């Protein structure tokens, strides 16, 4: 994944490199920020039509996750391909027709 290599380059050229355990905390923090925004913009779920998440927030979470992949030496593209295969295999698996029951 081209972006993963860019992130690896940024990490190696900056002072933001950190151990994987701390990088995981970054991922969780970024996702927490997104969750807080969702809660705030939807009135804690009372108005789902008002949902608003800034692209920058999602970008921060993606950066943190890809940085974790870099530090764990995991190919993000391969991991995503595996996940897609898993989820594509599940599509329709939980659906049953009326004649099945």
CATH number assigned to the domain comprising residue 6: 1.10.287.1080
Which residue is listed with tokens 């992949």?
69
Q: How far is CA 62 from CA 26, 29, 32, 39, in A?
A: 11, 12, 13, 20
The answer to the question of residue 57 being in a domain is yes
pLDDT in tens, the chain (101 residues): 799 999 999 999 998 888 899 999 999 999 999 999 999 999 998 999 999 999 999 999 999 999 999 999 999 999 999 999 999 988 765 554 454 44
The answer to the question of residue 95 being in a domain is no
The answer to the question of residue 83 being in a domain is no
Return the pLDDT at 45. Answer: 87
d(CA 27, CA 34): 11
Domain ranges, residue 37: 2-74
The answer to the question of residue 24 being in a domain is yes
């Amino acid at each position: 994944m081209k972006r993963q290599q860019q992130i690896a380059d940024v990490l190696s050229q900056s002072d933001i490199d950190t151990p994987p355990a701390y990088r995981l905390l970054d991922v969780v923090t970024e996702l927490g920020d997104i969750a807080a925004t969702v809660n705030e913009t939807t009135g804690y779920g009372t108005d789902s039509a008002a949902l608003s998440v800034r692209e920058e927030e999602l970008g921060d979470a993606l950066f943190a996750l890809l940085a974790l992949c870099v530090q764990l030496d995991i190919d993000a593209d391969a991991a995503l391909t595996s996940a897609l295969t898993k989820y594509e295999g599940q599509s329709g698996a939980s659906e049953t027709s009326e004649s099945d029951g």
